[in-house]
Amino acid sequence: MKILDAVKTFFGLAFCVILRLISMPLPNFEPIMGTMLPFAQKLGRYAGFAFGFMALVSIDFITGRLGMWTVYCGIAYGGLGYAASIYLSRFKGFKLKNYLLFGVAGTMAYDFVTALLFGFQFGQTLEVTLFGQIPFTVYHLAGNLLFVTLLSPAVYYGIVENKSLEALSTSEYLKRLRFLFR
């Protein structure tokens, strides 16, 4: 990974975490999927995994919600980043349809796997776990589809594929980001 890609990824992670903190009152509206997909497509499988994992773990850490679920939810989001890279690398450029299809399939897979693990962790029956998961998944799908529709194009064109940022040297790019650390 080039230094500029690492800086863009850090900025994308910070952006994702800040958006999650802003949307915190809304249950299951998290911008991880919408932010992760462009990075996974552009930077590859391992970067996709790292982005998904780090975004979830960072949010849990900052909000003081670290627990066993952080491990398996982080790995699950990392797995989505890895899978997104494989799926999206088949296509050239940004296509909202492809992002939305992955957003739906990824959300369903993530919620199914993490629900089973969560239910097992807390001793719930399979029936209670699956029925209790329905409203969670409805909110999660709504949030992910909203963020994929609105956020993914902005992240893709504004950060990941922004040619004006590519033209800057790394030191010039970092100077422009100084305002974040004041």
Asked whether the beta carbons of 32 and 56 are under 8 A apart, the reply is yes
Of 80, 103, 79, 2, whose CA–CA distance to 43 is shortest? 2
Summarize pLDDT for 132-143 with one digit per residue, the tens.
999 999 999 999
Q: Which fold has domain 3-170?
A: Arp2/3 complex 21 kDa subunit ARPC3 (1.10.1760)
For the segment 91-119, the average pLDDT, to the nearest whole number, is: 97
Domain ranges in the chain? 3-170
Summarize pLDDT for 26-50 with one digit per residue, the tens.
778 899 999 999 999 999 999 999 9
Asked whether the beta carbons of 165 and 159 are under 8 A apart, the reply is yes
- CB contact burial 120-137 (16+ within 10 A = b; e otherwise): eeeeeeeeebeeebeeeb
pTM: 0.88
